A and B are shown apart, each in its own frame.
Chain A
Amino acid sequence: MPPAEIWIDGLIQSCIYMTMAFGMVLVFSILGILNWTHGQFYMLGAFVVYYAVSSWGIPFPISLIISGIVIAGLGMMVEKFVIERLTAPGYGMLYVTAATLALIFFFEGAAGMAFGLDDKGLAMVLPGVLDLGSFSISYQKIAVIAFTLVIMITMYIVLNRTRMGLAIRAAAQEPIAASLYGINVKRVSLIVMGIGCGLAAMAGSIMAPVLYVNPFIGRVPMIFSLLAIVIGGLGSLTGAIVGAIILGFLNSVIAYHVSYLSEAVLFVLVVAILLIRPQGLFGAPIK
């Protein structure tokens, strides 16, 4: 049985992948595409918080929200100028996939140019450790967990209790019927892209004080949240959450037991899950 720290680490990872995967699934269910640039929005969000806190001295909670809003705007611009034009009828999924893949290079290059390639550490904004007898947990990590809970509850309320949420769910189910009922599906896609990218940015921001910031931090969370979505079942929000929890805990527990080749073991498990249940845990069966 691994020690409690390993489980806490797994929980932290689950939280981050969950926030990222939730946004990706939301975008997928409305726009019908996988946004490969999601990890780069995570990275840009972390940079926004880093500069907001260290250069301008804005308090961390406010800069967290600022980073979410700024990156949500950026995501909307990407949707407006790239994704919307490449998902027009007659294009097929290939072109928008290639474009979002190319945007990875674009954003990483831009971040490297503007902010440099070295690791930047953000000083602990919540110093201190909570001692719980047999193990201890830093307040920063508690903040990550609390933040994820708040985000998930907020998203639940937004999706289930507001008119906007109703429009999003309708557009995800039947875009054409939804537009017949007076829902502006284009506007819904724009908003959903904004929400998704904002979530990714906030995940990056909340992790910035725990880890470090450089232009390439988005790659690993991106791949892991992608795997989480696919394990959970593409297009299912519950699936994304469960997939992220499974993957986060698996990652840290496997790394504890087999440090050598731990990622390879993880990927083998993912492949095995997909071969046994190709549609994912919560997905509708294929065909």
Chain B
Amino acid sequence: MPYFDYKNFIPKSVAWFVAALLILLPLFTRNSITLSIFISSGVWAIAVMGFTLILRTGQFSMGQAAFMALGAYATAIFTLQSGIPFWPGFLLAGIVSGIIALLIGLVVLRVGGIYFSIITLALAEIIRIIAERWESVTHGVRGLRPPLPPTISLGGLEINFATSAIPYYYFMIILVVITGIVFWRLEHSRIGGTFSSMAANQILAEHQGIHLMKYRVIAFTVAGIFAGYAGAYYASFLSIITPQMFGLWQSIQIMMMSIVGGISSIVSGALIGATILYTLSIYLSRLPIYNIQYLLFGAAVVLVLLFLPKGTGLVDLWGKFWRKVFREPEEYEIPEDSEMATE
């Protein structure tokens, strides 16, 4: 009788079951608010994956939301002003934000650590200010109205983005799955190992012949590309772009999502962190007392950080939970003193 590895099979099948439920979600609810919560969580998850990837190389980017803004504005401006159709315009979003990330990265990534964080913060603010003041193109704080994706007809099936949130929901799932696959492959390939070695010990990695700059630029560019797509998608979904949508506070939110979700796994940590924190902030904002949501949101994040085991995020609770269920001993963890940014 072949050995049946139930300890591996059961957690995996539960995870697949949850994924299947998420794909079939529109069958159970057509409530546009519920769908939009999942859609927005997916958008933030994509940005968070990029942030975590940069973090894996030991750098702490404080301007991820700015790349979302770049992507969003790129699509909207190209489709509105040069009259190219929506889908090529959408593809351009990632290309534009990726190229800008590459150029910025080539210049800025020479300085590491806290200086990199501050420079990305300053660049994000510059992008926001330009978006606010360049009235003729971006319409300033009033915002642009990006075009909707055109209606697609597949045989007898009409996919109309204007009438319901369901096409957007599937569009988001496709986007998250593609991004997830790319980041998963990156994480579990040789290049992912290189990233981790850079985060663990920069000097040793450099002495092993790793060109630090090259890998930092790769991570920064990949993160920029996908943040651009997330931004373009989000703007199209909300059908408005304003500079305030992608400001410093959104970058800070991305960081908190990444760290609360857990950085031990790029894809699932980002998905869990973004979904939980975004849903939390939406439900908190429904509370009757004005402004209490910020207080509770901050408190929740601090409490999660205080009461999770050392150096883990929410995603690590999954493995812990199954080890409890199967009564396995806890894994011994080698204490890590990695040189993560801000030091």
When each residue 90-118 of chain B gets 1 if its CB lies under 8 Å from chain A and 0 otherwise, what string results? 00000000000000000110111111001
Inside 8 A of A117's CB, which chain B residues have their CB? 290-291
- We find that the number of chain B residues with CB closer than 8 angstroms to chain A is 52
What separation, in Å, do the CA atoms of A134 and B290 have in the docked complex? 49
Q: Does A271 contact B (CB under 8 A)?
A: yes
- A225-240: which have CB < 8 Å to B? 226-227, 230, 234
Known: A91-B310, A98-B256, A106-B295. A82 touches B302 (CB 8 A): yes
Complex: chain B residue closest to A108, CB-CB: B294
Binds B, one of A54-62, A149-157, A258-266: A258-266
- CB interface residues, A 30-53, toward B, < 8 Å: 32-34
Q: A34-B114, A267-B125 are in contact. Are A275 and B291 (CB under 8 A)?
A: no
**A94 and B259 in contact (CB under 8 A), knowing A99-B302, A109-B297?**
yes
| A112 located at the interface, meaning its Cβ lies under 8 Å from any Cβ of chain B in the complex | yes
A223 touches B (CB below 8 Å)? yes
Across the interface, A271 reaches (CB within 8 A) one of B110, B122, B255, B301, namely B122
Q: Is B173 an interface residue, CB under 8 A from the partner?
A: no
Q: Which residue of B lies closest to A82 (CB)?
A: B302
CA distance A136 to B129 in the complex (A): 33
Please indicate which of the listed interface residues B111, B295, B335 has the most CB atoms of chain A within 10 Å of its own CB: B295
Whether A113 lies near B118 (C-beta < 8 A) is no
Q: Are A98 and B259 in contact (CB under 8 A)?
A: yes
The answer to whether A109 and B291 touch across the interface, beta carbons within 8 angstroms, is yes
Is A85 at the interface (CB under 8 A from chain B)? yes
Q: Which residue from chain A places its CB closest to the CB of B112 in the assembled complex?
A: A286
Q: With A91-B310, A275-B108, A278-B110 as known contacts, state yes or no: A103 contacts B298, CB within 8 Å.
A: yes
B119 interfacial by beta-carbon distance below 8 Å: yes
Interface residues of B in 38-70 (CB under 8 A from A): 55, 60
B22 within 8 A of A: no
B293 touching A109, Cβ below 8 Å: yes
* Bound Cα distance from A94 to B269, whole angstroms: 15
Contact B292–A88 (Cβ < 8 Å): no
Q: Which residues of A contact B115 (CB under 8 A)?
A: 230, 274, 278-279, 286
Q: Is A89 an interface residue (CB 8 A)?
A: yes
Closest CB of chain B to A132's CB: distance in Å? 35
Contact partners of A6 in chain B: CB under 8 A = none
B19 proximal to A (CB < 8 A): no
* B270: min CB distance to chain A, Å: 14
* Cβ proximity bits B301-317 to A, threshold 8 Å, 1 near / 0 not: 11001100011000000
CA distance A110 to B291 in the complex (A): 8
Decide yes or no whether A86 CB sits under 8 A from chain B.
yes
Task: State which residues 87-127 of A face B: CB under 8 Å.
Answer: 88-95, 97-99, 101-110, 112-113, 117
A183 lies within 8 A of chain B by Cβ: no
Residue of A nearest to B251 (CB): A101
Q: Quick one: which of A91, A92, A109 contacts B294, CB cutoff 8 A?
A: A109
Contacts of B227 in A (CB 8 A): none
Q: Which residues in chain A, 13-33, are within 8 Å of chain B measured between CB atoms?
A: 32-33
| B121 touching A92, Cβ below 8 Å | no
Please tell me if A211 contacts chain B, counting CB pairs below 8 Å.
Answer: no
A113 touches B60 (CB 8 A): no
Q: Does B123 contact A (CB under 8 A)?
A: yes
* Residue A129 at the chain B interface, CB threshold 8 Å: no
- In the complex, whether A268 has a CB less than 8 A from a CB of chain B is yes
Q: Which of A92, A223, A263 contacts B336 (CB 8 A)?
A: A92
A109 touches B298 (CB 8 A): yes
- What are the interface flags for A204-226 relative to B under an 8 Å C-beta threshold, 1 for contact and 0 otherwise? 00000000000100000001001
Check: A70 CB closer than 8 A to any chain B CB.
no
B342 within 8 A of A: yes
Determine whether B126 belongs to the interface, using a CB cutoff of 8 Å to chain A: yes
Q: How far is the CA of A284 from the CA of B276 in the complex (A)?
A: 41
Contact between A105 and B298, CB atoms less than 8 A apart? yes
Taking CB atoms, residues of chain A closer than 8 Å to B295 are 105-106, 109-110, 113
User: For the complex, is B37 an interface residue (Cβ under 8 Å from A)?
Assistant: no
Residues of B116-147 at the interface with A, using a CB-CB cut-off of 8 Å, are 118-119, 121-123, 125-126, 129-130, 133
Are the CB atoms of A274 and B129 closer together than 8 Å?
Answer: no
Contact call B111/A275, Cβ cutoff below 8 A: yes
Interface presence of B23 (CB below 8 A): no
Complex CA gap A148/B109 in Å reads 36
Q: Mark B234-274, 1 if CB is under 8 A from A, else 0.
A: 00000000000000100010011001100100000000000
The reply on B341 being an interface residue by CB < 8 A is yes
Q: A90-B336, A94-B263, A103-B298 are in contact. List 7 more A-B contacts (CB 8 A).
A: A90-B311, A97-B60, A101-B256, A112-B291, A261-B129, A275-B108, A286-B112
Return 15 A-B CB contacts under 8 Å, by A number: A90-B310, A94-B55, A95-B259, A97-B60, A98-B256, A102-B298, A102-B299, A104-B298, A106-B298, A109-B292, A109-B293, A112-B294, A226-B121, A267-B129, A286-B115
State the A residues within 8 Å of B (CB). Answer: 32-34, 82, 85-86, 88-95, 97-99, 101-110, 112-113, 117, 215, 223, 226-227, 230, 234, 260-261, 263-264, 267-268, 270-271, 274-275, 278-279, 286
The 10 residue pairs across chains A and B that have the minimum distance between CB atoms: A109-B294, A106-B298, A109-B295, A112-B291, A102-B301, A105-B298, A278-B111, A98-B259, A267-B122, A93-B342
